[in-house]
Amino acid sequence: MDWEVINGITGIVSAICAVVSLVYLGFEYRRSATVETHPILSMHRFMSLVLASSGWALLCLSGLWIFEPFGCCPMDEDYLKLYGVVIAFPAGALFLAGIKLMQPDDAT
Residue 8 has pLDDT above 80, yes or no: no
Q: Is 94 exposed, middle or buried (0-12, 13-18, 19+ CB in 10 A)?
A: middle
With cut-offs at 50, 70 and 90, classify the pLDDT of residue 92: very high
**Burial 50-76, CB ≥16 within 10 A → b, else e:** eeebeebbeebeeebeeeeeeeeeeee
pLDDT digits (tens, 9 = 90+) for 15-63: 787 777 777 777 665 655 555 556 667 777 878 888 888 888 888 888 8
Q: How many angstroms separate the Cα of 86 from the Cα of each of 54, 73, 90?
A: 9, 19, 8
Please name the amino acid found at residue 3.
Answer: W
